[in-house]
Amino acid sequence: MRNAKLNGSTADTGDVTGLAHVSVSGEVDLSHGIILYLEDVSVSFDGFKALNGLSLSVDSDELRCIIGPNGAGKTTMMDVITGKTKPDTGRIFLGQTIDLQRLDEPGIAGAGIGRKFQKPTVFERHTVWENLDLAMHEDKRWFHTLRSKLTSAALARIRETLALVRLQKEAYRQAGELSHGQKQLLEIGMLLMQEPRLLLLDEPAAGMSDNETAQLVELLNHLRGKCSMMVVEHDMDFVAALSGAEGKVTVLAEGTVIAEGTLDHVKRDQRVIDSYLGR
């Protein structure tokens, strides 16, 4: 609910809908090597199908890049995974057993899905350090530990995250003073404080300088294997840097998957050329 709070809303969606509030405890069942599974997911807005029979799966520890033209449904896909939008049909699972449609937004976040929106959302009037601290306090697991343990472990985690997102020197500056790219990195740091199992990043390099983009590539490559990631991005150099020669890229258009494979493979696909690259 972090983003809702930032927008000044205190509404809690937990009970009205009758969905489980937070209650996925324990590990995600990765016995089939799959962290995220979408089957035949459709969403309509006033009769327009933003998602149209979308099926895809992401392997555990995979970094999947998603590309596709504007309006393809990439953001809507993230909305249905995180519970922001309810699909009309389809199934969405985290691991083998967690049916995400049975959880509300905080429940889905609690199950281990962190989401980075297109616009950076940080607490502008707090320092970088405080932003990371606040993000950690949203994670109830920290309150189950003894206070003494919490303090040293928490400090260590904040320091570690500051280093990861290259903001050590900015630790005591107000987040509002950071560059756009630094805010993007800070927000990723805030998500990391909650140790997500799956990180969804919607156009994270948008508005970043070349230098910041390079830092982001380095960070995401560093996170590879520590959590699974789904990255929506338009910048093809960025996608190339993340997917490498072997990584899988999924191409969406008109709410469905039109191609999937290595970047080289999808770039040669005629439908991809027609609907996206050739434009």
Shortest spacing between CB 66 and ligand ADP, in angstroms: 9
Q: Does 71 bind ligand ADP (CB under 6 A)?
A: yes
Residues 6+ apart with CB under 8 A from 205: 184, 212, 213, 216, 233, 235, 238
Residues 6+ apart with CB under 8 A from 38: 54, 55, 56, 57, 77, 80, 81, 90, 91, 92
Taking the least distance from each CB to ligand ADP, the nearer of 73 and 112 is 73
Shortest spacing between CB 122 and ligand ADP, in angstroms: 22
Taking the least distance from each CB to ligand ADP, the nearer of 44 and 179 is 44
Bridge partners of 224, per DSSP, are 227
Shortest spacing between CB 264 and Mg ion, in angstroms: 24
Give how many residues touch ligand ADP by CB under 6 A.
10
Taking the least distance from each CB to ligand ADP, the nearer of 50 and 216 is 50
| Contacts with ligand ADP, 20-59, as mask; x by CB under 6 A | -------------------------x----x---------
Q: Which residues of the shown chain bind Mg ion in the complex (CB under 5 A)?
A: 74-75
How far apart CA 260 and CA 15 sit, in angstroms, is 39
| Span interacting with ligand ADP, options 64-72, 146-154, 217-225, 242-250, rule CB under 6 A | 64-72
Task: Confirm if 56 and 44 have CB atoms less than 8 A apart.
Answer: no
Task: Confirm if 49 and 42 have CB atoms less than 8 A apart.
Answer: yes
Taking the least distance from each CB to Mg ion, the nearer of 117 and 142 is 117
Phi, psi of 75 (to 5 degrees): -70, -40
Shortest spacing between CB 71 and ligand ADP, in angstroms: 4
Residue type, 30: L
CB atoms under 10 Å from CB of 3, counted, come to 15
Residue 45 binds which of Mg ion, ligand ADP, none (CB < 5-8 A, kind-dependent): ligand ADP
Residue 50 binds which of ligand ADP, Mg ion, none (CB < 5-8 A, kind-dependent): ligand ADP
The tokens for 250 are 């999924």
Helix residue spans in the chain (DSSP H): 2-6, 74-81, 105-110, 128-137, 147-164, 180-192, 210-223, 236-243, 263-267, 270-272
Can you tell me which of 62, 63, 64, 76 binds ligand ADP, judged by CB under 6 A? 76
| Span interacting with ligand ADP, options 32-40, 66-74, 105-113, 153-161, rule CB under 6 A | 66-74
Bridge partners of 257, per DSSP, are 252
